[in-house]
Amino acid sequence: MDEIFEQLLHLSARTETLIAVYDGDDRLQYANGAFRSVYFIEPDETPLWPDLMRRNFELRRGTVIQTSNFDEWLRSTQSRRGKIGYRAFETDLYDGRWFWMTEAVKKNGWMLCIASNITSLRAHGRTVRQDRDQAIKASYTDELTGVANRRFVMARVDDMLAAAQHGNNGCLAVFDIDNFKHINDRLGHHAGDVVLRDFAHRIHQNVRRNDCFGRVGGEEFLLVMPATGPEDAIAIVECMLTVIRFSRPLPESPDFSYTCSAGIAACVPSDSASDLYRRADQALYAAKLSGRDRVRAA
């Protein structure tokens, strides 16, 4: 087995195909020379994927990222990156080359990326394909907050329930911003929108690779946590609530703060998505009744 592994490493070093492996924290653990050359990565460097993308975006090299706000692009992209087992897409580089990129993700969050140069293929229809990809991205993204929308996050609930049929546990958390109507009434809808974006941004920064976080409507958000037991889920969500307590999102009101409540339900093989959602929502209601700014499990 070691000999086969050594042969694979030797072959990957000689190919022009881009090959890279990221761990569950999205840190680069292996990249062949072709990949490092395209993305300007030093031989001994193991950057986090967001840091690599930010650095190349600022220097206008590597992947072309068409946005005026990198953080919004990153939040939107990470809301979908690594959430499904496999995806494939085109990507273009600042040097004019085009690549066909595939991402395969294991249950532990490790990701294999392979990209082939398709620059020499006919460019006819490329703009149409780009427009299609942008439309697909928009259909899975919440416009206000930039995180996944109801359609995408509920599809991940279905994936988690399918895995539960084979003995893989998982949990669903429902978040609701406390007294949000009061925030809108007292400070205006613009402040309410700022709070929603702040909440999505701060929670998203603490979401693991294999988990999926999204807005399902109003001030309600879901966090899908595959292969996670209730105790771990509670610990994860409690850390998130702590992050929110310390947020001060309104520069014009520096003393303003807000909180949120959460309910958690563990999936069982007989669950439907509506069953799981209902139990998590009941746990959220219990958290609200017991004083808000806390998490309760069904």
List b or e across 113-133, with b for residues whose CB sees 16 or more CB atoms inside 10 angstroms. Answer: bbbebbeeeeeeeeeeeeeee
Query: What mean pLDDT comes out for the span 141-145?
Result: 93
Ramachandran angles phi, psi of 79, nearest 5°: -65, -20
* Residue 122, pLDDT score: 59
Which tokens is 19 given?
A: 């090959």
The band of 274, judged by pLDDT with boundaries at 50, 70 and 90, is: very high
- What pLDDT does residue 5 have? 61
pLDDT (average), residues 231-259: 96
Is residue 45 among the annotated active site residues?
no
Give the containing element (helix H, strand E) for 190: helix 189-204
Find the helix packing angle between 230-245 and 189-204, rounded to 10°. 130
First to last CA, the chain: 46
pLDDT at 129 over 70: no
Set 42, 90, 219, 231: catalytic member: 219
One-letter amino acid identity for 144? L
pLDDT at 158: 95
pLDDT at 13: 76
How many Cβ atoms are within 10 Å of 92's Cβ, its own excluded? 16
Q: Give the whole-angstrom CA distance, residue 34 versus residue 15.
A: 7
Q: How confident is the model at residue 120 (pLDDT cuts 50, 70, 90)?
A: confident
β-bridge partners, 63: 93
Segment 177-207, tens digit of pLDDT: 999 999 999 999 999 999 999 999 999 999 9
Task: Enter the tokens of residue 173.
Answer: 């958390």
Give the H or E element holding residue 58.
Answer: helix 49-59
pTM of the model: 0.81
